[in-house]
């Protein structure tokens, strides 16, 4: 069974804490790339994972890889995909988010997930992974962060700083939360008044080392979107 028609669209990144001309330049560059990749051809989910898997193998093998270019291409393909098959979702992790596997192979994994209304999934990172998120149902605020300077090793004590780099409302059909291994790799999710469902299309570039939750002090945010933070629980899974 396939859900959600072909009207997927790419959501522009929201760049915070940057000079206006610099932010405009980034957005214009993204629009030029997106236009160059536009096509009237629609893809099935099987076509999508086959093409992304082929690109992922090349990316992983390339020592001079360009993750930004790869991610924009993935986003463009996602915007032309006719739908996503249903997935069996497990019990809520941390009582908040349910996940299930849509696809694994060729260096990529497609995870389907859902959250009920009025819930927050805490900030966490995805070391050595890049990816994009696509909305399937409902609404969800996704905020991404970069580490400013250096941070302690995963799961070890010590304060560090993070800067909010993206803040987007995920709705059905939108491609959001474009993250590389170097940028926007920390994110958190907040649902609104409705149940939400989406997919993460992720590529492992390097060794899987698990992930860590990030405790972000919202009260410490300054005018540049910089917060005080510390590592929370670390998981090797």
> What is the residue-level pLDDT of the chain in tens, covering all 237 positions?
334 444 445 544 444 444 444 444 444 444 444 444 456 689 999 999 999 999 999 999 999 999 999 999 999 999 899 889 999 999 999 999 999 999 999 999 999 999 999 999 999 999 999 999 999 999 999 999 999 999 999 989 999 999 999 999 999 999 999 999 999 999 999 999 999 999 999 999 999 999 999 999 999 999 999 999 999 999 988
The CATH topology of domain 15-235 is Jelly Rolls (2.60.120)
Render pLDDT for 145-160 as a digit per residue (tens, 0 to 9): 999 999 999 989 999 9
Q: What is the signed CA dihedral for 22, 190, 83, 6, rounded to 10 degrees?
A: -50
Render pLDDT for 93-142 as a digit per residue (tens, 0 to 9): 999 999 999 999 999 999 999 999 999 999 999 999 999 999 999 999 99
The whole-number pLDDT of residue 199 equals 98
Is 216 within 8 Å of 144 (Cβ atoms)?
no
The two structure tokens encoding residue 64: 């001079």
Is 59 within 8 Å of 67 (Cβ atoms)?
yes
Q: Which letter does DSSP use for residue 152 in this model?
A: P
The two structure tokens encoding residue 173: 């059909």
Residue with tokens 């799961």: 155
The whole-number pLDDT of residue 172 equals 94
The whole-number pLDDT of residue 26 equals 44
For 57, the enclosing helix (H) or strand (E) is helix 45-61
The whole-number pLDDT of residue 83 equals 83
Is 39 within 8 Å of 80 (Cβ atoms)?
yes
The whole-number pLDDT of residue 195 equals 96
The whole-number pLDDT of residue 38 equals 52
The whole-number pLDDT of residue 39 equals 63
- Return the domain boundaries, the chain: 15-235
């Amino acid at each position: 069974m396939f859900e959600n028609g072909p009207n997927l669209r790419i959501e522009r990144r929201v760049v915070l804490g940057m000079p206006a001309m610099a932010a405009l330049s980034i957005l214009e560059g993204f629009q030029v790339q997106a236009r160059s990749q536009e096509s009237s051809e629609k893809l099935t989910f099987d076509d999508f994972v086959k093409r992304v898997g082929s690109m992922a193998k090349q990316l992983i093998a390339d020592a001079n890889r360009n993750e930004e270019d790869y991610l924009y291409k993935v986003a463009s393909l996602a915007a032309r995909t006719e739908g996503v098959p249903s997935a069996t979702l497990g019990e809520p992790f941390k009582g908040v988010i349910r996940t299930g596997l849509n696809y694994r192979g060729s260096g990529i994994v497609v995870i389907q997930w859902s959250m009920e209304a009025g819930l927050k999934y805490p900030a966490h990172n995805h070391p050595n992974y890049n990816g994009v998120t696509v909305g399937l149902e409902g609404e969800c605020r996704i905020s991404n962060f970069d580490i400013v300077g250096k941070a302690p090793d995963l799961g070890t004590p010590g304060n560090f700083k993070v800067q909010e780099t993206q803040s987007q409302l995920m709705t059905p059909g939108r491609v959001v939360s474009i993250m590389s291994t170097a940028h926007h790799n920390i994110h958190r999710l907040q649902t609104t008044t409705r149940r939400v469902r989406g997919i993460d299309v992720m590529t492992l570039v390097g060794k899987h080392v698990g992930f860590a939750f990030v405790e972000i002090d919202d009260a410490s945010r300054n005018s540049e979107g910089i917060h005080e933070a510390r590592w929370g629980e670390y998981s090797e899974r």
